[in-house]
Structure 1
């Protein structure tokens, strides 16, 4: 089983309160230490600078970001690692291997690119190189969930819902991720497996039709790739998957999903790849990952921030390749480790020859929640 750590961090004014637990093999969980990091305003400002911001047309420019500048990205990773990783954890990570770190972070801390922060200043060794990382959810959420998806082989048929929103949304300025047609990289050879069912038609799925698709058979996986409407600090349950009905935006909010998990039952593995589908930045845990767990999922992979969409003229489609990496990982026997392998490959490319496509803007945006009863991997 290895060593499992749980690092909990909460912003308290300008400070950060934290605690660290660990379990070594089958031994009982033990409290290691806790404390307060004083005056983290510089870290918070640095984190806000990392998060990609949509422009007036709703698009995110991947080049206008600290994460795509190698020198600035490394300096920020060192700042965040030195201040937010407890010395006791850093010391153990620098020793033996086989570590899993569960990170429970709220507020601005949830937007920290945890995979990319450094363990040792001056060495460019990233946290993902030293440990398997997952996001931690309150055990009570899984313990009280409405349903639990039946176990199924991840290679058995899954449901892929891709770009289900309207072609143009005059209210939000959003447009289709893939105007015209889905790219061959996604639905051609090497893309989504022919045994999976892709949401029918071009911009043709409503939230009600998604419910029908989810209930018509037992799926092994749900892969959603599309727009996500962000929640609000006072109402995280307003976060939503964007569908369309008669060309008009149709939302499946986290609140609706939480209220009717049987109408939108989640399979064991769920991927929500869209604009900031993680909700940990809000104080209350009632967003899309929580809704998916409540509806039956044991594994949920989501994104910490809005991803830049691909430009059709580009030969390399980084957002599509990221989505496919998640898709393939969810089809693997050990999805967390499979996704980590892809992230490590991207990190190696970033270190060797940094390009916007290999930057942490993409691979560090991903985070996964695992229900307590689901085995590691």
Structure 2
């Protein structure tokens, strides 16, 4: 992923290492957290930033010692994979990752992560890591980095690939189309909003049994990540601010909603948040291309999947902001607008508390974490 290094380039760091030592020709990062989460990723990025600034020409092996941990969710360990990818491919560091991980239904995919290849400084392991990072279909893991020049036919092929992958693993037939469509629509959005490459990662867990009900349950965990100077809502904001008289009535509603919402903007709900949710509205797109009308059914699909799920954890991060998807706020009104609030009123009402949070890292581009626990056949 050619723009992945933006993750480090955009990091604002302090002057000193917090968790890093240099010993006997090795740079050793010592994780202090039992649950490895967004704050843990931010700490790691901070020390790497200081390292690159203080010793720009030194390429000693880096040991990332995480210890006994539990990853907060799939996207967290995908970010760790991306950091290792940047260090190896872009900056030429040999990287070793050491950890013992407690598994659960949300992060069982770590057992198929290319991180497991980074248990030594052998160059072959590094090359294999880069290969597996960009493309891997193995057992219950599907990974693909899609180029920015791929077209709709490529998207359709990837959607079929994911559907066959899920079917082979015994995922409920009723959910397969929705899961594959959600994943590919997110990849398509990466082209439309960010004109960027896109990492797709899907894993399906072993079946879990519950004591209180019959049947098998699968964890279906999806991450979709693109890196870009453009954040999720930037394109729509630029389009709305450069009004040229050609917008449809729906864009005029967005303009009116922005005027109303400007009275709500504060530390918990920002203008950036407004353009993020506006980007999910039906027939609204930030693209200047006439063949892209936006208004995808993405949120409707997520809502449907959440309703079918025994449990779920779905959110995105873009820039410094996170947007949480809760199915009760993802219902379209009769005119096709999403309010992200109890009243389901996009035009006049502020989104519900908890829909937006401050991100723990700065994400240049957009990253999605979609976790569903779904009953199998």
Q: TM-score range by the shorter chain?
A: under 0.3
Which structure has the greater CA radius of gyration? 2
TM-score, length basis structure 2: 0.27
TM-score, length basis structure 1: 0.27
